[in-house]
Amino acid sequence: MKTVKVELAERSYEIIVGSNMWENLPAALKEVLRPGKVLLVSDENVFSLYGQRAIGILQEAGFKVFPAVIPPGEGSKTLYRANELYTAAIKAGLDRKTAFIALGGGVVGDLAGFAAATYLRGVDFVQIPTTLLAQVDSSVGGKVAVNHELGKNLVGAFYQPKLVWIELETLTTLPRREFLAGAAEVVKYGSALDLSLLESLEKNWPAFWEKDASFLAEVITACCRIKAEIVSQDEKEKGIRALLNFGHTVGHALEAATSYRYYLHGEAVLIGMAAAVQLALLLELLKPDEARRLLGFFARIGLKEAPASLTRSEVLAALKKDKKRSGKKSIFVLPVGPGRAGIFDNVTSSMVAAVLDRYLHEKGQGLLALDV
């Protein structure tokens, strides 16, 4: 078992990472939660796999458990589903001392966290993330949100959990496509924020690919440590937290332009990271050898092709609506060396158009190639 601490004064908390450590969960929960009732939020897939085990553990820890199970998928991250959780909590008589526990991927975590932040003006919250994406990214850092019909994550809060419990055994049942989408966020940490993680992933890629438990524990812990460090310094994204958005400007635009139905988030982010490398080359922020190294790394996962009907102007229109724009300019996180990135607002629209064309016209592979 490895522990990472998120240092946020009185809102500090621990992230515990390990395999087959379910039996240790009751004690960990009793340390951070007050006795009483808990709302166990999960989706149908995860609940059918791990729900009974989680209920048993919570009961063993002395909690009275009220399960609230939502349909799987992004479509559940809504005020409508949050309202269902409020209703379940009110009917179960959950008071201010009770807790919401999220057992699932980023959808469950974001929704349960949002509901916990707002129910009775805030009740305790614990994350038990079960996708790779949620384990390395969404469960850490306290961003919680639901979607609005006019855009993703538009209604939310910064609300830190009391504990993040990362049980690696859950990854054994995660579908391959979901695992690879989460791997894109892992690749993000290595390529933009931490050279030693990048080197370790390059060297041990087969172990990662095969979900080797001890290497996964090492990598997931490293990602949580990087994110925890950044969040401790900049909880509300006024500065360096924005570096975590490497690959996300173009990634979000691709997701939005395809109505969130074609790409998984990580798939779009991987394309966004390759686009960022190409933009960094155009701005001469990266040497060709450095770019080649990063693109070679992304190629190990491979870029998903664009849908045939997707046009450059649809992606550009989505970019213009990005909520992270400052005034008229899009903000890009661009690599400035392996394991290092910076924030730039001097990317011109013709540069973006050229890079998008490489992706759209060359079945994705154009973004992985180097002209020099």
- Which residue is listed with tokens 């890629």? 205
Query: Any catalytic annotation for residue 44?
Result: no
Catalytic residue among 45, 77, 81, 143: 143
Q: What is the maximal distance between C-alpha atoms in the chain? A: 65
- State the Cα–Cα distance between residues 278 and 283, nearest whole angstrom: 9
Selected from 51, 104, 335, 366, the binder of ligand NAD by CB under 6 A is 104
Does the footprint of ligand NAD cover residue 153 (CB under 6 A)?
A: yes
148 is catalytic: no
CA dihedral (129, 135, 137, 142) positive or negative? positive
* 121 included as an active-site residue: yes
Residue among 161 and 335 whose Cβ is closer to ligand NAD: 161
* Residue 73 touches ligand NAD, criterion: CB under 6 A: yes
Q: Strand 37-43 relative to strand 163-167: parallel, antiparallel, unpaired?
A: unpaired
The yes-or-no answer on residue 248 being catalytic is yes
47 or 297, CB closer to ligand NAD? 47
Residue 241 among the catalytic residues: yes
Asked if residue 1 lies in contact with residue 24, where contact means CB atoms within 8 angstroms, the answer is yes
Residues 158-197 that bind ligand NAD (CB under 6 A): 170, 173-174, 178
Catalytic residue status for 31 = no
Q: Which residue has the tokens 């960990």?
A: 28
Taking CB under 6 A as the rule, does residue 131 contact ligand NAD?
yes
Exposure b/e, 23-54, CB count within 10 A at least 16 = b: eebbebbeeebeeebbbbbbbebbbebbbeeb
Point out the catalytic residue in the list 45, 81, 162, 185: 185
Q: What are phi and psi of 165, to 5 degrees?
A: -115, 105
Catalytic annotation, pick one of 77, 162, 252, 312: 252
- Catalytic site includes residue 252: yes
137, amino acid identity? D
* Contacts with ligand NAD, residue ranges (CB under 6 A): 43, 45-46, 49, 72-74, 77, 104-108, 110, 130-131, 133-134, 137-138, 141, 143, 153, 170, 173-174, 178, 265
Any idea which residues carry the catalytic annotation? 121, 143, 185, 227, 237, 241, 245, 248, 252, 265
